[in-house]
Amino acid sequence: MAIDPGNAELEAEQRLQSFFNSDILSDLTVRFSGREVKAHKVILCIHSRWFANALTGSFLEASQSTLELHDDDPQALEGMLRHFYNLEPMSPCETDRPSTPNQTDASAKLKHIVHLYAAADKYDAPVLKKEVLSSFMTLARKDWLALWNSGELPDIIEAIYAFALRKDRLRIAAVQLSLENIGKFRKSNVDAFRDLIESVPDFSADILMQVPLPSPVKVSADFSEKLVEVLTAHSGQLELHEAAKLGDLAQCKLLIRIGTYVGSLSRSRAAGLP
């Protein structure tokens, strides 16, 4: 009797899913935020380089049957573990409902995606990270402006910048989406936009670095001045104010990129150097 490859593959997936949080063959209990998940070391090691290093090296965790994880969003961490067992990482019962009365469904889902991405980044789970980024782009492109208008977008941007490094693809995506809508952001609520660039100075720098050249004339004076004010306030050693006064956007970008310090510039001028 011939075996249908499609049915065999589906059956294998279902068997793998059935082992999630199951005592059957479990050799590890993962504990976090008051929760426990029965797991299998080999499954975790396949999907996560962090778990592979922790559970197969000389670390204490390698010889223990319990692993304590800290400082993670619990829903995101459980979602990551679900993904390792080929289950949907975004459980509808947990993520489709807003966590606060004023939070929209889109905001709740996007925040969960950001936290899930952070978990995948921390625990070095590349497949999950790639899938989550794709989900982020699909939802964010549709709802980015609406989330700004509802006042929920700043929290999402702050959540991204809490962990994402400069060249992280999620951070780059957030900047690109914001640049596409930046005129509408400022037109609808300029005070909220000022608050955002003040509270997340790295976001301010990323926005400035992506403004196309040439062009002081293309960047409104108040916007440039506010960006420079925020950046110099948080990075007082950077000499951005002179370049801003001269309308030299290219120099502003260069100073941010190379991190030139006031002291070295001042000494160069005193010595008559260019």
| 226/200 same-domain check | no
Maximum Cα–Cα distance for the chain, whole Å?
Answer: 89
Residues found in the chain:
274
Residue 235 falls inside a structural domain: yes
Confidence of residue 244 (pLDDT cuts 50, 70, 90): low
- Residue 148: give the domain boundaries: 104-211
Residue 115 domain flag: yes
Q: Has residue 45 been placed in a domain?
A: no
Q: Tell me: the pLDDT tens digits for 127-175?
A: 999 999 999 999 999 999 999 999 999 999 999 999 999 899 999 999 9
Same domain, 169 and 225: no
Asked, for residue 36, whether it belongs to a domain, the answer is no
Specify burial of residue 169 (Cβ count, 10 A radius: 0-12, 13-18, 19+): middle
- pLDDT greater than 60 at residue 273: no
Contacts of 236 (CB under 8 A, 6+ apart): 262
Residue 117 forms part of a structural domain: yes
How much of the chain exceeds pLDDT 90, in percent? 56
* Shared-domain flag, residues 184 and 235: no
Same domain, 207 and 109: yes
Is 151 contained in some domain?
yes
Q: Which of 81-95, 164-178, 237-251, 254-268 has the lowest mean pLDDT?
A: 254-268
Looking at the structure, do residues 187 and 248 belong to the same domain, yes or no?
A: no
pLDDT at residue 93 is higher than 80: no
- Per the model's pLDDT, the better-predicted residue between 168 and 267 turns out to be 168
> Is 89 part of a structural domain of the chain?
no
Q: What is the domain count for the chain?
A: 2
**Contact by Cβ (8 Å): 67, 31:** yes
Specify if 134 maps to a domain.
yes
Q: Token pair 């989406």 is at which residue?
A: 177
Q: How confident is the model at residue 256, as a pLDDT?
A: 63
Q: How many CB atoms lie within 10 A of CB 141?
A: 13
> Within 13 Å, how many C-alpha atoms sit on residue 128's CB side?
33
The larger pLDDT score, comparing residue 45 to residue 253, is at 45
